[in-house]
Structure 1
C-alpha cells in the first residue's frame, strides 16, 4: 500500500483517475470526516488517497511509501475556498472563506497549506508538483515505477479536464449512479484546473496575507511571489 497525499485541491483526484483509466489501478480513500464513508478495506488498495497529516494516519501504516502532490498554495487555497462554497455549501462569502483557508484558523485545513507541505515534504518518498502533472501527466505517474509495479500505460485513455468535468471519470463525480447528478457534481468539482488562477481570484491584500504566512514553504518549492 502507498499513500497518495496532498493538501486539498492539489490534483489528487486527477492523479487517481490517471491511475485508474490509463493503468487500470483503483485507489482507496482514508479520512477522518464524519460525513464521509470510510473505505473499511482501504489497506487492500495499492494506492490510498488522503488529505491528513502523516501523524494522523494509522500508526501501522505511517512508515509505508508515500507520494505527495504539491500545488502553488495560492491556487490551492483559491480552489479550496470555492469548493467549500459550492460543494460544501458553507454559508460565508467567498473572501471570508478564502481568508480562513489561508490562515488555517483553529487547526482547520490541517493547520494551513504550509504546515501540510512541511510535514509531508519531510517524509514523502516521491514529491510531484501539480504544475508538472498538468504539463506531462504520464511522465509524472511513471515516476511511481521506483516504488510499485505499473502495467504499460494505455495513453489513449488519458483523462482530460473536460472529460472529468463531464463526469466521465471514475473519481470526482459524487457517490451516485445517476448520470445527470454525476455530471452536475463533476462540473462543480472540476472548476478551472489552471495554473495561476489566484491572479484573478485572490485579492492583492489576501495575496500579501498568504505570503506573510506561507512564504518559507513557497520559496522552498520554488513558488515565487511575482510568478
Structure 2
C-alpha cells in the first residue's frame, strides 16, 4: 500500500517524515529517483531509504509505504486508489521559505534583495513541471475525488507534532500503531543540524519578508487565491 506524503515545497514534509520515524519507526521514500533532502541532511533523521520496488509492487504489498511527493495529484505514478496525507501551509510562507532556500548562497551580497525578489516571483508564477504553482498544486489534491486524503496544516504540525502525526496516520493507515517512546527533535535542534534548510519553523513570515508587490502578485494568481480562500487563509497586508 502507498500513502503519499504530498505537499508544495516548504510545507513541513521533511518535519513530518522525521516525526513519522520517531513515532512509528517506519522508513519513508520519495517519488523521485534521488532524495535530495536526504542527501543534504542525512538519512537517519527520517530513515530515508531507496524504494523497495516499483510503485506497482509497493501498491500491491500489504506493507504501508509512505512516499513523499511535491507533484500534483494527476502525476502518472499516482493511482486513484492510493491514500494520501496532504501537508499544507500558507502559500505566502511557502514562497518566502523556498525563495530563501534557493538564494541562500547569495545571502549578504549587495544584490541579494533583487535575487530574492526574482526567485519569489518565479515561484509565485510558475506553471511548468510536476509541482506547478502553489495554488495549482494544492487544488489538485484538494479537489480530487480519490479516497482517503488527510489534511495536516503546518501551523498545527509545528505546535503539536505528536498529535498531528498520530491523528493523520490513524486515519490514513489505521493498521499502524505508534511506539510509546517516540520524541521529535525541536526546531532549535534541527536548525543546529542545518540552519539554511530548517530556517524558521514559524507561520506568518511573509509579513516581514514579502513585498507588497509580490504579495499582490500572489493573490493575482487565480488558483492560489481560490486555494487560500478554500483553506481559510485570509488576505492581510504584507
1:152-177 superposed Cα distances (whole Å, 9 cap, x missing partner): 3446612211122233xxxxxxxxxx
**Deviation, structure 1 residue 139:** 1.4
Offset, 1:108: 4.7
Summarize the alignment of residues 190-201 of structure 1 with structure 2, pairs less than 5 Å apart.
190-201=198-209
Structure 2: any 5+ residue segments left out of the alignment? 40-48, 59-63
**Mapping for residues 114-133 of structure 1, pairs under 5 Å:** 114-123=135-144, 125-133=149-157
Are the equivalent residues in 2 in contact too, given 1:4–1:68 (CA < 8 A)? yes
Equivalent pairs counted in the alignment come to 206
Task: After TM superposition, give the deviation of residue 32 of structure 1 in Å.
Answer: 6.2
Whichever structure has more helix as a proportion of its residues is 1
Choose which of 223, 227, 233 in structure 2 pairs with 1:217. Answer: 227
Q: Structure 1: any 5+ residue segments left out of the alignment?
A: 168-185
Q: TM-score, normalised by structure 2?
A: 0.77
User: Structure 1 18/35 Cα, relative in aligned 2: closer, same or farther at 3 Å?
Assistant: closer
Higher relative contact order (CA 8 A, sep 6+): 2
Match of 1:111 among 120, 123, 132: 132
Report what 1:96 is aligned to.
118
- 1:41 is aligned to 52
1:29 equivalent in structure 2: 30
Conservation of the 8 A alpha-carbon contact between 2:9 and 2:70: yes
Q: Which residue in the other structure is 1:63 paired with?
A: 81
Cα distance change, pair 139–86 in 1 and its aligned pair in 2 (3 A): same
Match for residue 183 of structure 1?
A: none
What is the match of residue 8 of structure 1? Answer: 9
Q: Distance in 2 between matches of 1:66 and 1:33?
A: 21
In structure 1, the residue matched to 2:73 is 54
User: Residues 167-202 of structure 1, C-alpha deviation per residue, up to 9 Å, x if partnerless?
Assistant: 3xxxxxxxxxxxxxxxxxx22110112100001110
Q: Name the residue aligned to 2:101.
A: 83
Q: Please give the secondary structure, in 1, of the residue aligned with 2:141.
A: helix
8 Å CA contact 2:72–2:130 kept in 1: the answer is no
User: What root-mean-square deviation, in Å, do the aligned CA atoms of Structure 1 and Structure 2 show?
Assistant: 2.9
TM normalised by structure 1 equals 0.80
Question: Which one is further off, 127-136 or 196-205?
Answer: 127-136
